[in-house]
Amino acid sequence: MASILIVNDLSSVNELLETVMEPAGHKCLFAGDGERALSLYQSNPIDVVLARLSMEPMDGIALLKELKARDPCSAVILMTRSPETDTVIDALRAGALDYIKIPFRVDELLESLKRAIEYKNSKGNGSEELTVSSGTCGREPVEIEDVLPGSSDKMVSIRRQIAKLVDSGTPVLLQGEAGTGKKAVAEILHRKRYRNERPLVAVNCASCGDGILRANLLGKDNQGGKWIAGAAGGTLVLDNIDSLSMESQEAVVCLIRDRINRFRLICAAGVDLEEKLDKGEFSDELYYRIGTLPVNLPSLREHPSDIPGIVKGLAAWAGALRSDNGKEVQFSDEALEAMTRYRWPGNRSELVQVVTSVVTVSEDHLIGIDRLPFRLRCFRDWPKREEYLAPIERHYIQTVLRACGNDEVRAGGILGCERSRISSRPDFREAESVTG
């Protein structure tokens, strides 16, 4: 049984959610606003937070950010009536695991809750284990193509750049949005160089306070902390290095300056550090020590032509795990087109989750668009912004022309445009037939 905190100011929706969750064995707590939700989260063991996006005075994204600041491992799902692309991207970047469209489908809600509960359980309760992972990576090495697939020129170029870095001992900076594969690339660089025989220590800088980070990096009297001792002879990965304060950045500079010969340093950032450098938000000395030749991992939006091939490979892998003798599973052309047009704010991580979930749950061997999550289906028929606005603009200009007796100069003055813009478009002059 999981404990679900529902943050929503609509009682009718709350009653429906409780009706769905209680038979599934979940305990529900309710908060009508963000402040009450934070109070309940602090005083109760909560597994998943299900929050409405549009609330006042604290909206869902503000609540999400506050929860993540207090508990980096909080599992948060947002609910919204209008899943606008930019808002969804902001939510996923802020740490939301998923979002549900209201009105929701029960199966999609329960599936999303299941993934969130698994995520929460995988994080455990120890703060140190959430921050640092170390070991020798006992699995067999994988190829770069496995984590950065695609035949486009962009992906081929990135793989070549990474391959050249394998045997280099210089620091590496990996930059890219969430889900682009930064952690996987760091692990491959380690495995390929050390053949699983040396330690790997990965530190999530976003979940470390300044004191903890400096103590474990520099140690007593700046002689090196336990993370440095653990990474000796192997690899130290500093993930989310863009979240470090200026003071902690100076600690990393000292680390590189004095002890870089003890380990291989790989840094990862979710933003372009050069932009932060220009704004004075990142240490120039640190940047020039780690970012001389950054590896910029592209988002899926930058190479959409690779998506059908990636989906085919993932479907074959997931289909082989099904109980129907591993028969080949394919996606229909319509489904592939929808997946290619979708913006994938979670990038390859989101794509992997969608394909494996759909293939695992479905009993079909040809998966149609109706099996895809709603957030993918709803984008397939949306026109471009210009296409959508064109008839609205034409109707408005024709209305103004009629009101002005087809006087283009006068209409242009009202519309704030040159007469030539009106006279050059015959479709605007359709108003003549109306006014006679």
**3-class DSSP assignment, residue 435:** helix
Helix (H) / strand (E) element for 422: namely helix 419-423
Higher pLDDT, 432 or 195: 195
Weakest mean pLDDT among 4-13, 180-189, 221-230, 294-303: 221-230
Q: Classify strands 3-7 and 48-52 as parallel, antiparallel or unpaired.
A: parallel
| Helices vs. strands in the chain: H and E counts, helices first | 22, 13
Nearest 5°: the CA angle 257, 251, 164 is 50
Q: What is the CB neighbour count within 10 angstroms for residue 20? A: 16
What's the token pair of residue 16? 């429906």
Domain boundaries, the chain: 3-125, 129-296, 301-377, 385-435
CA distance 276 to 340: 31
**3-class DSSP assignment, residue 267:** strand
CA proximity to 199, closest of 157, 173, 228:
228
For helices 385-403 and 408-415, give the axis angle rounded to 10 degrees: 130
pLDDT for 91: 76
pLDDT tens by residue, 390-428: 777 777 888 888 888 888 888 888 888 877 777 776 666
CA distance 109 to 83: 15
- pLDDT value at 276 more than 50: yes
Weakest mean pLDDT among 289-303, 330-344, 355-369, 416-430: 416-430
pLDDT for 86: 63
DSSP 8-state secondary structure symbol assigned to residue 143: -
**3-class DSSP assignment, residue 27:** strand
Same topology, domains 3-125 and 129-296? Answer is: yes
At 299, phi and psi to the nearest 5?
A: -75, 165
CA distance 62 to 52: 11
Indicate the class that CATH gives domain 301-377.
Answer: mainly alpha
CA distance 134 to 118: 22
CB 238 within 8 A of CB 263: no
Dihedral angle at the C-alpha atoms of 105, 108, 112, 114, nearest 10 degrees?
Answer: 110
- CATH assignment of 3-125, given 3.40.50.2300, 3.30.70.360, 3.40.50.720, 1.20.1050.10? 3.40.50.2300
Higher pLDDT, 122 or 306: 306
- Sign, CA dihedral 342-347-350-355, equals positive
Q: What are the distances in angstroms from CA 424 to CA 78, 341, 409, 427?
A: 47, 33, 13, 9
Q: Which residues of 113-146 are buried (b: 16+ CB within 10 A; e: fewer)?
A: bebbbebbeeeeeeeeebbbebeebeeeeeebee
- pLDDT value at 122 more than 70: no
What's the token pair of residue 424? 């050059």
CA distance 250 to 283: 7
Cβ partners under 8 Å of residue 421, min gap 6: 412
Q: Classify strands 264-269 and 48-52 as parallel, antiparallel or unpaired.
A: unpaired
Dihedral angle at the C-alpha atoms of 223, 225, 226, 228, nearest 10 degrees?
Answer: -80
CATH topology of domain 129-296: Rossmann fold (3.40.50)
pLDDT tens by residue, 208-249: 667 777 778 877 766 778 888 888 889 999 999 998 888 889
CA distance 81 to 54: 9
Q: What is the CB neighbour count within 10 angstroms for residue 25? A: 8
Q: Which residue has the tokens 């290095």?
A: 241
At 108, phi and psi to the nearest 5?
A: -70, -40
CA distance 327 to 350: 24
pLDDT for 382: 57
- pLDDT value at 65 more than 70: yes
